[in-house]
Amino acid sequence: MAYVKYKELTKFFDFSRYIETKDLPWYVSDYIYGDERILSSYKTFRDHGVFTTKKIILFDNAISVRPFKEIYTIPYNSISSCSILYRPSKVELKFDLESGYQLRLIFVDMHKHEKARLRLLYSTICMFISNQEQSKDIINQLVENKIIVKED
């Protein structure tokens, strides 16, 4: 039997709410290049996660004896596989990177509308990863925060 040991790339991020692009800290724009567009952004108590059309950017604002900010940039082309896990009020996105590292992002207090946004975001990331043509309608829904929630 073979066992593969994975290390987490980053600490755990428990994103608790969606944040409008206009409400992101000013320094986020320093990490968005060229024709890149912000699809969706999330926030913890002090951290931010930004999903663009090219990559994931995680801003880890650690508070300790010596506060620091660590910024992780994960290009979609470095992701080999991904999965999404839905729980009653929580969603997890898991990414396996080509380097062997794993990235797990947790979204808490997520309800129907928030889960719909994450489903569209996950679907779009999967299309980026597999080099498929992206749906301009879905990208625009994400960018403009006009998510269409289908009733059951």
User: In terms of residue numbers, what domain contains 99?
Assistant: 13-144
Q: Is the pLDDT of residue 106 over 90?
A: yes
Q: What is the pLDDT of residues 79-100, one digit of tens each?
A: 999 999 999 999 999 999 998 8
Q: Quick check: helix, strand or coil at residue 152?
A: coil
Contact (Cβ atoms closer than 8 angstroms) between residue 23 and residue 33:
no
pLDDT digits (tens, 9 = 90+) for 9-22: 556 788 999 999 99
- Pairing relation of β-strands 13-15 and 102-108? parallel
Domain count, the chain: 1
Percent of the chain, pLDDT > 70? 91
CATH number of 121's domain: 2.30.29.50
